[in-house]
Amino acid sequence: RPGSTFRRAARDNPPGCLLDPSLGTHCYVRIKDSGLRFHYVAAGERGKPLMLLLHGFPEFWYSWRHQLREFKSEYRVVALDLRGYGETDAPSHKEYYKLDCLITDIKDILESLGYNKCVLVGHDWGGMIAWLVAICYPETVTKLIVVNFPHPSVFTEYILRHPSQLIKSGYYFFFQMPWFPEFMFTLNDFKILKNLFTSQATGIGRKGCRLTAEDIEAYLYVFSQPGALTGPINHYRNIFSCLPLQHHEVVMPTLLLWGERDAFMEVEMAEMTRIYVKNHFRLTILSEASHWLQQDQPDIVNKLIWTFLKEETTRKRE
């Protein structure tokens, strides 16, 4: 019915979970070259090694809440709102969301934070960006951790040969349309957004760490702000701008974590990624986990990341 289809709840104030001091401090940094102001949440002492967290779609810094709490004991943990997301500036034209711009953002933010290298962690679209930063600026990444996204070359090669993955990635093509994808997300008070995290087909599974009502409200609050969907979708409107890649090799130790019940990415791509990593490569596939892995199985994910970080430290000492 039209009354419910076009109804939207008023969301003027952020839910309390977004202001939880245990997650860290809300900070802003303006990048000199682009002039854009980025928002991030930082936990852990300044001066500790940097762990930079890049979220996916449709997410924002809050998707890393479990990791902000976990790794602040030994790292300066920074969960970023990517260009166009949340409280980070959102240029109006889609040309400003080319992959080259997104990669440069990460390098510039690293320098603005006073670091020249980091442990780089990315999930989903943030995983794509993390792979590309590691390939283009290897000197800035000491260790690479990617969650549920294959090496970009694997993705482009696989999708061309496997119609099943092409269908799962159909939203990439839907997002090429102007304004209509944003409109569809708003229907029934952002029902599509809710369903992505909660439905049986795409959401966090029965054995996962379900999102609370307040968690879901946090996502609805951020993406219901005026124009808040256009920046994120503009990322996808430029996905064909720098693929295929000219350079492929990843030279730093790499951990790839994968939820096997991912509704959007076929698990076969995870193992194929191995050929592009010219250093220590560890792959762990979690059979009961969904696409939203670091929110779905945070305890296991955190343990696997700690093991990987300590393992490489020990190996270097030897």
Residue 317: the pLDDT is: 37
Residue 318: the pLDDT is: 38
Residue 291: active-site member: yes
Question: What whole-number distance in Å separates Cα of residue 141 and Cα of residue 204?
Answer: 30
* Residues of the chain falling short of pLDDT 70: 1-4, 241-245, 312-318
Residue 15: the pLDDT is: 96
Chain segment 127-141, per-residue pLDDT in tens: 999 999 999 999 999
Chain segment 56-84, per-residue pLDDT in tens: 999 999 999 999 999 999 999 999 999 99
Tokens of 237: 């409107």
Question: What whole-number distance in Å separates Cα of residue 298 and Cα of residue 111?
Answer: 29
Catalytic residue, chosen from 55, 123, 151, 291, is 291
CA dihedral 176, 177, 178, 180 (to 10 degrees): -130
CA angle 167, 172, 176 (to 5 degrees): 130
Delineate the domains of the chain, giving CATH numbers in brackets: 21-310 (3.40.50.1820)
Residue 244: the pLDDT is: 61
Chain Cα centroid distance, residue 209: 18
Facing residues of 310 across strands?
none
Residue 3: the pLDDT is: 58
Residue 315: the pLDDT is: 52
Catalytic residue, chosen from 96, 236, 276, 296, is 236
Residue 93: active-site member: no
Catalytic residue, chosen from 81, 124, 262, 296, is 124
